[in-house]
Structure 1
């Protein structure tokens, strides 16, 4: 009998089998998992061989004022930029971007062992961006491209969404080497990786799940920006300054 047929169970459950059957099923799945790992290795190898394009000189704004893009590398040759969605004046910004970037709290390993840096760039004004960074407890360095075409040129302009861009620096010359957006950013998220291991998965309606599995609308659940702030930000998610705009 499967546990889904157990009248004492309050939740849909996978079938219950003996240990040998479970091991055979796991071994069969492992073949596919290993094949996917090898394919991801091959994709990474192709990514390392991508050509690149030289960029013009951009000036962004950081906590200490204007800064050239080449200086954002902070002496490292490699840079990853998360382009954060932004609506000027809103107290709470994109919950997806806010939740995604809240995962990154220990990035010293990139600088120490891989000679790279990971920062956030948003199209919002720097004072609002830094206040929001504090409000939601973000630990990454933030920069503003509000006075630059950088966001638009990197496929993440105002009202265009989010993205990840990777750059390589050779002296003062900066090159764009890779870009992704949408679900292409998921492989950077340890939360998605962990949730995909769970029996019920993400519980979103697009997933291919067994009949009766809990499911909901794709954007119906997950932490909003206020919840991120309550967990990680300033006390009780309090806002700073006079930023009281609408938004969620």
Structure 2
């Protein structure tokens, strides 16, 4: 895990309270507009069509399990597809860091929903890694089916999120995202983004003199997650 070793000297300008309030109010108008746009996006998401899934079988902690049974009686399922390299000591740091945030998921029960991890790796390795980094949710392996490849998370590919809806024994795919689309499922970036210096990554638009370094430099890597939570 990287941290800045020198204290930055660049600071926001100091103004009187009235000037600060006016600048904040201007920003708040944009923030409110963004909130309304996110509401509109969510409304559009609720109106998406869906596609019927095949009767996939995954491998769980206790053996093979049909995709419909991964729901454990619920109607909705969120799947995070964890990047995987067979036999690696440490798996994707970004995936590990993101999923480490999901420590209390029972609130989804109130919404008839469940959250699980699926990886293309062997289930024995996946479960050992889950324990190593301190994850608590259930993990499944798609190593013996084409499930990962069919939902845009193929072996050797990237990470992603898929959402499914179950109607009896039939499962439908309703939503998918990957890349920076997964940031909306994180609480770390929203917290960091409200800090005066933000993420401190050199791709971001920041004032002159703001502390900035390479992308991902401040992220916790998989060994850090294991040391903190595993």
TM over 0.5: yes
Residue ranges of structure 1 left out of the alignment (5+ in a row): 1-8, 234-248
Which residue pairs with 1:208 in the alignment? 205
Matched, 1:97 2:87: no
Instruction: State the 4+ residue runs in structure 1 displaced beyond 3 angstroms.
Output: none
Instruction: Give the secondary-structure state (helix, strand or coil) at the position aligned to 2:219.
Output: coil
Q: TM-score, normalised by structure 2?
A: 0.96
Equivalent residues, number: 224
C-alpha displacement of 1:220: 2.8
Matched, 1:35 2:28: no
Matched, 1:153 2:150: yes
Rg larger in structure: 1
**Cα distance in 2 between the residues matched to 1:11 and 1:108:** 44
CA RMSD between the two structures:
0.9
**Cα distance in 2 between the residues matched to 1:26 and 1:13:** 17
Which residue pairs with 2:76 in the alignment? 78
Q: 2:225 aligns with which of 228, 237, 241?
A: 228
Listed one character per residue, the Cα deviations across residues 33-55 of structure 1 (whole Å, up to 9, x for unaligned) are 00000000000000000000000
C-alpha displacement of 1:11: 2.2
**Cα distance in 1 between the residues matched to 2:228 and 2:56:** 35
Which residue pairs with 1:22 in the alignment? 20
Listed one character per residue, the Cα deviations across residues 207-247 of structure 1 (whole Å, up to 9, x for unaligned) are 000001011111333111000000000xxxxxxxxxxxxxx
Which residue pairs with 2:114 in the alignment? 117
C-alpha displacement of 1:139: 1.1
Q: 1:180 aligns with which of 161, 177, 181?
A: 177
Listed one character per residue, the Cα deviations across residues 28-84 of structure 1 (whole Å, up to 9, x for unaligned) are 000000000000000000000000000010000000100000000010000000000
Higher relative contact order (CA 8 A, sep 6+): 2
**Cα distance in 2 between the residues matched to 1:90 and 1:140:** 21
**Cα distance in 1 between the residues matched to 2:23 and 2:104:** 36
Q: TM-score, normalised by structure 1?
A: 0.89
